[in-house]
Amino acid sequence: MIIGLTSFQDKILKQIKKIPRGYVSTYKMVARACGKPKAVRSVGRACAQNSYLISIPCHRVIRSSGEIGNYQKGRAAKVKILKSEGIKIKSGRFIAEPNQIYHFKIK
């Protein structure tokens, strides 16, 4: 468990850390993977305060609507990174490609 974070935040970030390069997931899925399907905003908050951008790819988490969502360093930066990882984005929206969506395993 990462020092300086609550156990819940740690849980969230750990899930996000599992997302491989070239894949994306949604806040909803992360929340569900943490056992709290309705805590989507908490997921966002955990990312917003995440100071481990280098080891935790919160940029691979987007809105379930397909919108890119927000990012500490700005949406533009998020889009840029995702594109460089092979994710297609058009008009600030993720182009759904089933093979690029990462699914967490739920217990």
Partner DNA sequence: AGTAAGGCGGGCA
Partner DNA sequence: GTGCCCGCCTTAC
Can residue 104 be called a binding residue for DNA (CB under 7 A)? no
Tell me the helices (H) and strands (E) count for the chain, helix number first: 4, 4
Identified binder of DNA from the candidate list 1, 64, 96, 97, rule CB under 7 A: 64
Whole-angstrom distance, CA of residue 40 vs CA of residue 91: 24
Restricted to residues 72-101, the positions that interact with DNA (CB under 7 A) are 72
Binding string, residues 4-43; x marks residues near DNA by CB under 7 A: --xxxx----------------xxx-------x-xxxxxx
Residues contacting residue 49 through CB under 8 Å, at least 6 positions apart: 9
CA nearest to 23, candidates 93, 94, 72, 74: 94
Which residues contact DNA (rule: CB under 7 A)?
Answer: 6-9, 26-28, 36, 38-45, 47-50, 53, 58-59, 61, 63-65, 69-72
Residues identified as active-site: 58
